[in-house]
Each structure stands twice: as C-alpha cells, then as structure tokens.
Amino acid sequence: MKIPPVLFLVIGIILATLLPYSASAGQDPPGGRLDLPALIDYAIKHNPALKIAKQNIDIEGQGVKAAEADRMPRIDVTGGYTRYRYDNPLTPIVIERLPLLPSDIPDFEKNVYDGFATFSVPLFKGGRLVRGVTIAELKRSMARDYHTRNLHELIYNVTAVYYKLAQLNELLKAFEAQEMGLEAHRRDVEFFLKAGTSPKLDLFKADVELAGATERRIQTRNTIANTRELLRSIIGMDDPGELPVSFGRALLMPVQVPRGDLDQALSNRPDYRAALNKVKMFEERVASARGKRLPDVYASGDYGGRAGDSFAFKENWTLGVRFMLPVFDFGRISSEVGRERYSLMNAKEEERALRLTIAREIRDAQTAISNAEERITVSEKAITSAKEQARIEDLRYKAGDNTSTDVINAQTALVRSRSDHSQALFDRQVAVASLVKAMGSTDRPESAPGLEIGARNGAKTAIPATQEVR
C-alpha cells in the first residue's frame, strides 16, 4: 500500500503563494485551535504577498496624483548672491561693462543679489494630459483587481492545504488501524505456530506486512509535518511554535456548490476585470502616442530682478505663450505608436485567452465535483464490504479455514478503501473551492450559495471524525 501522492499539491501551492516573500515579523500567534475560517482570517492579516498587493494600490494612487499634478501650473523660485572684487585700476571700466549692475558700484568690489520667479502652464499637449490621468486611474484599478485576485488565491490555497491535512490525518488513522490489526494477526499466527497448526512462513509474511504498515504510518506522519509547515508559510506565521489546527468533521462537512455561469464569472473575476482594464489602458496609450504629433502649447512667464549694496531693486518680467511642434524626429513617434499598438493587440489576446481559461476552469471544477461524488458513493460501499470481509477472514483463520495471506489481503483491501474514500472526500472539497475561485467569489466554500452536497449517512459512518493534528 502506497501513500497517495501529495507532491504535486505542495509544489503548486508554493508557486501560487509566492513563498520567496518572508512572513511579517512581530506577529502574535493565534490562540486556541484554528479551523478553516480562522486560518483564512489569519492569512488575510499576515500573508506577505497580500500585503504587498495592497500596498501596490497605494503606489498607483500616488501615480494618479502625479498625473493630475502634470495638468497644474508649475512655479519655481530661484535666488542668488554674487560678490565681485577687482584689484586693477581699470576696475570702473570693467564694472561699467557688467550687465544689470547698478551705477552706484563702489570701486574694486560689489555685492549683487538676485531673485526670480518663473511659471509655466500647460495649455495643450495633444490630449496626453487627460489621457495621462485616465491611464493612471486604470493602473490603480488594475492594482485593486490584482489584490482581489491574490485574496482569492490565498483563500483557495489555505483551503486546499487545510483539507489535505484533514485527509492525511484520516489516512494516518487508517494506517494505525491497519498496524493494530496486523499486530493482532501476528499474535494469532504466533499462537498457531506454537500449536503446530500454522507454518513458519505465515509468521514471516505477518512480520513483513506489519513492518510495511509501520513504515507507511511513519511516512504519513512526516508528510503531515511537512504539510503543516507549508500551511504555516501560506498564512504568514513565522512563530516557531506548534501550529494548532482543528478539523472536526472537515471532510464530511456539507458544502455549497456555486452555480457555474460564465457571464457571472466574467463579471466577478478580478483578473478578468484587470485584463479588460489593460486593454483600455493600451488604447489610451496608443492615442497618447499619436498625440505627440500635435503641438505642445504652454503659457509661461517670469518676474525678478537684481540689487546691489544699496538694495536698489531693478525688476524685469516676461509673459507669453510658446508652442513646440515636432517636424522631423527620424520616425520616433511612429515607432512609439507602433509599439503601443502591438501591446494593445497582445492585451486583447490575453483577455480572450483568459476568458477561455475561465470557462475551462468552471467546467473542470464541475466535472471534478461530479466525479468525486461518484467516487465517494463507491468508496463508502467498498469500506462496508471490506470491513465485513476482514472480520470474516479473521474468524476463518482462527477456525483454520483459510490462510494468513487471506487475512492480510483483507486488511490491505480495507485500508485501501479507506484511503480511496478520504481521497475522494478531499477531491470534492478542493473541487468546490476551485469552483468558488473560478466564479470569482471570496465566499468560503462552506458558505457559498448554491446546491448543497455531502454529509450523507454513509459518509458519516464510513470514516471516524478527525479531531486534530498535532
């Protein structure tokens, strides 16, 4: 009996949650045992990637302010001080030739003070001023959508790892039960061996199977420890202490399956909204690049003057309108327009590809839910039959009507049926979480609106309830 593979899940979750980012320092560990809603709430507060996505919204907000400021007048003030000194008899002649100096300059040295204020007001820039603000606002909206997308991914990842821990805990209990059963069978084999009614080969077989069951239990405990550390990383907990997780009847809990409507998903999915905004952004950038062929018009002016030691201020000022029209630039503007047009085409294809991906994700999740439900029904019946078969084979062995191999095979079939059942339960819960994410909802799987499934009578009795993993 091999442990069900979980490596693919571990790798996928690590990539999805951006684990290179370190967890936040100085956080307080949660008190008590954490169920799924508590784990999700903790992750929302402490996951580093989610914090970064939220801060990116503020960054793009500053970009909006900068774009709006580009439309406003600009005023600059400059000032200075200069000291002149000459040790030449011709100094007065030299001084007379200096521009903007008062006539009362003493011989050989002079202090000069100057100050100016300049302003510039953009009047027209080919529509780039307005489009600059629009582009900045689209970027901020995309940042909000990316934050929401990261939130959806985080909820899904926490949910998937939580249910994987629950499944592994059920698997561990199945292996522990198998190990106890094989230990009891070995004692029976040893008893009949001493009585001379069982061959020594049966004892060897029992020892081999018991060792295998022990190995599977140890491996499962190690996998649980690794998966628990993965969960700690996802939720952003850097406390070295124990991660207290409570499951209750997590795998058997009724779940709500959201209705899989593509139009609704497209309106809810934050990544699809971001894709649409990306298309709009590049449309604005194409228009902005074309606007560079038009003249830039500014109103500008300045006011200021200079003064000497007598502080006699001599002022001057200017006021006017200026424009700049590109005549020949070696094709720079045309190249920029072409680059933005190709970027727009790529953005449109990305939007179309994402729409197809969303439709496929919905169909895949719905199919996975249906298949998992069928497997749950089959595995429930298999567990009932395997239990009865194991009981009968054990009685027959004690009565001398079968062999040790028959008992071992029956116990192996029982643990396999329990493993298949826990795997089917896990696949159902994760498939529901996948559908919730595909629909673009932040609702928890257990509270999502839709069709209720799970928690059948057989499912409640097939596998004992899990309490916790330490």
Residue 309 has pLDDT above 90, yes or no: no
| pLDDT tens per residue across span 419-439 | 999 999 999 999 999 999 999
Residue 78 has pLDDT above 80, yes or no: yes
pLDDT band at 171 (very low <50, low <70, confident <90, very high): very high
Which residue reads 């629009």 in tokens?
A: 134
- Bridge partners of residue 80, in order along the sequence: 114
Taking residues 410-424, report their average pLDDT.
Answer: 94
The DSSP element (H or E) to which 227 belongs, if any, is helix 200-235
Tell me: do 43 and 12 sit in the same domain.
Answer: yes
Residue 293 has pLDDT above 70, yes or no: yes
Least confident range from 100-109, 354-363, 419-428, 460-469: namely 460-469
pLDDT band at 192 (very low <50, low <70, confident <90, very high): confident
What are the backbone dihedrals phi and psi of residue 17, each rounded to the nearest 5 degrees, phi first? -105, 5
Q: Which of 273, 305, 324 is the C-terminal boundary of a domain? A: 324
The DSSP element (H or E) to which 165 belongs, if any, is helix 128-195
The DSSP element (H or E) to which 469 belongs, if any, is strand 468-469
> Residues with Cβ < 8 Å from 445, sequence gap 6 or more?
159, 255, 256, 429, 432, 433, 436
- Residue 461 to residues 155, 343, 377, 468: CA-CA distances in angstroms? 29, 58, 12, 18
The CA distance from 34 to 426, in Å, is 19
Average pLDDT over the chain, rounded to an integer:
81
The DSSP element (H or E) to which 75 belongs, if any, is strand 74-85
Residue 317 has pLDDT above 50, yes or no: yes
Tell me: do 149 and 222 sit in the same domain.
Answer: yes
CA angle 138, 143, 146 (to 5 degrees): 125
How much of the chain, in percent, has pLDDT values that exceed 90?
50
Residue 254 has pLDDT above 90, yes or no: no
Tell me: do 274 and 171 sit in the same domain.
Answer: yes
| pLDDT tens per residue across span 201-227 | 888 998 999 999 999 999 999 999 999
Say which residue, 88 or 371, is predicted with more confidence: 371
Taking residues 100-124, report their average pLDDT.
Answer: 72
- Bridge partners of residue 115, in order along the sequence: 79, 305
Task: Give the model's pLDDT for residue 29.
Answer: 46
pTM here is 0.78
**Three-state SS at 454:** coil
2 lies in a domain? no
pLDDT band at 114 (very low <50, low <70, confident <90, very high): confident
48 lies in a domain? yes
Tell me: do 152 and 102 sit in the same domain.
Answer: no
The CA distance from 438 to 262, in Å, is 9
469 lies in a domain? no
User: The tokens of 320 are what?
Assistant: 């006017």
Tell me: do 344 and 414 sit in the same domain.
Answer: yes
Task: Give the model's pLDDT for residue 202.
Answer: 86
Give residue 99's domain range: 73-125+296-324
**Length of the chain in terms of residues written:** 470
Residue 341 has pLDDT above 80, yes or no: yes
Least confident range from 3-17, 99-113, 439-453: namely 3-17
Least confident range from 244-248, 273-277, 352-356: namely 244-248
Q: How many CB atoms lie within 10 A of CB 115?
A: 16
Residue 7 has pLDDT above 90, yes or no: no
The CA distance from 340 to 128, in Å, is 14
Task: Give the model's pLDDT for residue 410.
Answer: 93
Task: Give the model's pLDDT for residue 105.
Answer: 46
Residue 463 has pLDDT above 50, yes or no: no
100: left (phi over 0), alpha (psi -120 to 50) or beta: left
Tell me: do 455 and 367 sit in the same domain.
Answer: yes
The CATH number of the domain holding residue 380 is 1.20.1600.10
1 lies in a domain? no
Which residue reads 């684990």 in tokens?
A: 19
pLDDT band at 275 (very low <50, low <70, confident <90, very high): very high
**CB of 140 within 8 A of CB of 63?**
yes
Least confident range from 91-100, 128-137, 219-228, 293-302: namely 91-100
Tell me: do 355 and 458 sit in the same domain.
Answer: yes
Task: Give the model's pLDDT for residue 383.
Answer: 94
As for how many domains the chain has, the answer is 2
Tell me: do 349 and 422 sit in the same domain.
Answer: yes
Say which residue, 18 or 155, is predicted with more confidence: 155
Q: Nearest-CA neighbor of 276 among 358, 156, 154?
A: 358
Say which residue, 126 or 221, is predicted with more confidence: 221
> Residues with Cβ < 8 Å from 14, sequence gap 6 or more?
230, 233
Task: Give the model's pLDDT for residue 138.
Answer: 95
Task: Give the model's pLDDT for residue 272.
Answer: 95
**Three-state SS at 307:** strand
Residue 65 has pLDDT above 80, yes or no: yes
**CB of 326 within 8 A of CB of 292?**
yes
Tell me: do 303 and 345 sit in the same domain.
Answer: no
CA angle 435, 440, 441 (to 5 degrees): 85
267 lies in a domain? yes
Least confident range from 29-33, 114-118, 415-419: namely 29-33
The CA distance from 437 to 455, in Å, is 22
User: The tokens of 169 are what?
Assistant: 């805990």
The CA distance from 448 to 439, in Å, is 11
pLDDT band at 112 (very low <50, low <70, confident <90, very high): confident
The CA distance from 124 to 296, in Å, is 6
The CA distance from 351 to 342, in Å, is 14
Task: Give the model's pLDDT for residue 126.
Answer: 85
Task: Give the model's pLDDT for residue 311.
Answer: 64
Tell me: do 195 and 315 sit in the same domain.
Answer: no
Tell me: do 252 and 277 sit in the same domain.
Answer: yes
Least confident range from 15-19, 332-336, 378-382, 403-407: namely 15-19
User: The tokens of 316 are what?
Assistant: 């001057």
The CA distance from 308 to 446, in Å, is 82
Q: Nearest-CA neighbor of 145 among 349, 288, 351?
A: 351
**CB of 288 within 8 A of CB of 128?**
yes
The CA distance from 411 to 192, in Å, is 19
Residue 452 has pLDDT above 60, yes or no: no
Type of residue found at 363: R
Residue 186 has pLDDT above 60, yes or no: yes
Task: Give the model's pLDDT for residue 20.
Answer: 37
The CATH number of the domain holding residue 302 is 2.20.200
**Three-state SS at 316:** strand
Tell me: do 183 and 214 sit in the same domain.
Answer: yes
